[in-house]
Chain A
Amino acid sequence: MKDFRYLPGVSTLRLNEEACVGCGQCLQVCPHRVFARGPDRRAMVVDLDGCMECGACALNCPAQALSVSPGVGCAAYVIQRWLKGKDAVIECC
């Protein structure tokens, strides 16, 4: 998967290292190896640009230490959202 790199510096993923309880759930659910365990067993973000903002980590973090604005990475969806507004009900893909 390292052959596929998308735009750098765009991911909205944020980790509050203070709040992390070191359960390792984020390492389990992340499909892109964005996280690793630090020396204190807490999570660290090691590949922020690998993040595709799927939202799995934030939803599965029991300490709410992770936040990301998840969404659908699909052009047709983004166009509809531009046209109809952020809260519109969008039928796509």
Chain B
Amino acid sequence: MPAFDNRGLPPLPMFQPAPADDDAPCCGPRPSPPSSPDERPGYRLCPFVRRFIPTPAGPVPEVATRLGVSDWLGWLCVRLGIGRDRYRVAPGLYAVGSPGSESPVLVTANYKLSFDLLRRELGGLDAWLVVLETRGVNVWCAAGKKTFATAEVVRRVGLVRLAEVVSHRELILPQLGAPGVAGQALKAACGFSAVWGPVRARDLKGFLAAGRQATPEMRQVSFTLAERAVLIPVELSLILKPSLWVLVAVAVVSALEPHFSWPLFVRRALDLALAYGAGMVSGSVAVPLLLPWLPGRSFYLKGLLAGAVAGLGVALVRRSGLGDGLAMTLLALAVGSYAAMNFTGATPFTSPTGVEKEMRRGIPVQVLALLLAVGLWIGQAFWRIK
């Protein structure tokens, strides 16, 4: 093949080196730095990736163990219930530090909050992270839904060619993944044996330092005041949308008056809306916060009590009459009871059989209280004029 001869012509522009930063034309502000060599057309480089480590199975992203501003903003958004069901990282193999073929392999879910919580606890460690496809759901819930599952571990370990990256054959799985992963089945299916890590990522360093031994505390879930408080905004965001319909209903039942007048309508609609809000807050804020101190074991009873107190409080502050006040209290306790019952799904200790049992008792009480409240509210409008 003849060599290309450019016969003394200047090289084609595409072969010219890019101008250095300082030589760039002057107009406008200084241009942003050049693209990272790791960027690829059609892909976006995640801000938490520091570099790519070459491995026999291809380049593996090394991720930061300190969270950046965008990670904390993301945390804030999902804790407020914004974009929570699309908060994920790509499943696959990641690294922290400078892991080698002997380094431990940690398995996690592809909910970015789980991923962030894990890498944040790994500062100073060299480890591999296998992120499973759990559809953006955390480890425990994904295990319950069987997406954090034996088959997915086996599939992912094969896809990332883990056997070529590490020389050992051990996976450290989060203990809360156990409802979905049969540890004893892994060895036969993918050659890697399962070691159950601690419940909380923050115990991982201690667990590794102790030779993969977990203390009884590391094996037990907790539900501290802070752990409960952080769930409240999401609980509220879940009832925000149905609440719009409730407010429409509040307006309708408050408008049923024999002699309609705007000031009266506004006052009564506001009263009832406040009673509803009191029920919401008692079930979704007070019950989570006061959980160990509210009497009873059933959540519907805890919510009933909190809702009744809150509803009564609103009625007293608004100086509602006996009939209206009673209706408001009934509405608040029905709503509080229902919202508290829903909180069972966010706790780490309620059994489904128990939830179903309390629902069989709670829902009739809630429906009855709601019907009484509405009946009383409408009835009040007609009795009062007699």
Residues of A within 8 A of B (CB): 1, 3-8, 10-12, 25, 27-33, 50-57, 59-60, 62, 69-79, 93
> Of A10, A31, A57, A70, which one neighbours B357 at CB under 8 angstroms?
A10
> Of A28, A30, A54, A74, which one neighbours B345 at CB under 8 angstroms?
A74
Give per-residue flags for B344-369: 1 if the beta carbon is below 8 A from chain A beta carbons, else 0: 11011111111111110000000000
Question: Do A1 and B357 have beta carbons less than 8 Å apart?
Answer: no
Please name 21 pairs of A and B residues whose Cβ atoms are closer than 8 Å in the assembled complex, sorted by A. A5-B297, A6-B297, A7-B351, A11-B351, A28-B175, A28-B214, A29-B196, A32-B220, A32-B221, A33-B219, A55-B179, A56-B175, A57-B178, A59-B180, A70-B179, A71-B353, A73-B350, A74-B355, A75-B341, A77-B345, A93-B141
> Of A1, A5, A54, A57, which one neighbours B220 at CB under 8 angstroms?
A1
Question: Do B350 and A52 have beta carbons less than 8 Å apart?
Answer: yes
Question: Do A73 and B344 have beta carbons less than 8 Å apart?
Answer: yes
Question: Do B344 and A74 have beta carbons less than 8 Å apart?
Answer: yes
A60 to chain B, nearest CB (A): 5
Distance, CA A52 to CA B342, complexed state (A): 16
Is B176 on the interface with A (CB-CB < 8 A)? yes
Contacts of A29 in B (CB 8 A): 175, 178, 183, 196
Question: Do A30 and B219 have beta carbons less than 8 Å apart?
Answer: yes
Contacts of A72 in B (CB 8 A): 144-145, 345, 352
Question: Do A75 and B345 have beta carbons less than 8 Å apart?
Answer: yes
Question: Do A75 and B359 have beta carbons less than 8 Å apart?
Answer: yes
Give per-residue flags for B119-149: 1 if the beta carbon is below 8 A from chain A beta carbons, else 0: 0000000000000000000001101110000
Is B34 on the interface with A (CB-CB < 8 A)? no
| Residues 182-224 (chain B) with a chain A CB within 8 angstroms | 182-184, 196, 199, 214, 216, 219-223
> Of B145, B178, B355, which one neighbours A73 at CB under 8 angstroms?
B355
Chain A interface SS verdict (over half): loop
Is B291 on the interface with A (CB-CB < 8 A)? yes
> Of A1, A11, A25, which one neighbours B222 at CB under 8 angstroms?
A1
Question: Do B178 and A7 have beta carbons less than 8 Å apart?
Answer: no
Residues of B within 8 A of A (CB): 140-141, 143-145, 175-176, 178-184, 196, 199, 214, 216, 219-223, 291-292, 297-298, 338, 341-342, 344-345, 347-359
Contacts of A55 in B (CB 8 A): 144, 179
Contacts of A7 in B (CB 8 A): 297-298, 351, 354, 357-358
Contacts of A93 in B (CB 8 A): 141, 345
Contacts of B292 in A (CB 8 A): 3-4
> Of A3, A10, A31, A57, which one neighbours B351 at CB under 8 angstroms?
A10
Distance, CA A46 to CA B180, complexed state (A): 24
Distance, CA A10 to CA B356, complexed state (A): 10
Question: Do B359 and A52 have beta carbons less than 8 Å apart?
Answer: no
Question: Do B216 and A33 have beta carbons less than 8 Å apart?
Answer: yes
Decide: A56 near B351, CB < 8 A? Known: A4-B223, A4-B291, A76-B342: no
Contacts of A33 in B (CB 8 A): 216, 219-220
A87 to chain B, nearest CB (A): 15
The chain B residue with its CB closest to the CB of A50 is B349
Distance, CA A57 to CA B199, complexed state (A): 15
> Of A1, A60, A78, which one neighbours B178 at CB under 8 angstroms?
A60
Question: Do A70 and B144 have beta carbons less than 8 Å apart?
Answer: yes
> Of B223, B298, B356, which one neighbours A1 at CB under 8 angstroms?
B223
> Of B196, B345, B351, which one neighbours A76 at CB under 8 angstroms?
B345
The chain B residue with its CB closest to the CB of A13 is B351
Question: Do A60 and B182 have beta carbons less than 8 Å apart?
Answer: yes
In the A-B complex, the 5 residue pairs with the closest CB atoms? A74-B345, A71-B352, A56-B178, A29-B178, A7-B354
> Of A1, A12, A57, A75, which one neighbours B355 at CB under 8 angstroms?
A75
Distance, CA A35 to CA B349, complexed state (A): 15
A4 to chain B, nearest CB (A): 5
Contacts of B356 in A (CB 8 A): 78
Contacts of A79 in B (CB 8 A): 359
Question: Do A53 and B178 have beta carbons less than 8 Å apart?
Answer: no
Contacts of A12 in B (CB 8 A): 353
Contacts of A10 in B (CB 8 A): 351, 353-354, 357
A31 to chain B, nearest CB (A): 4
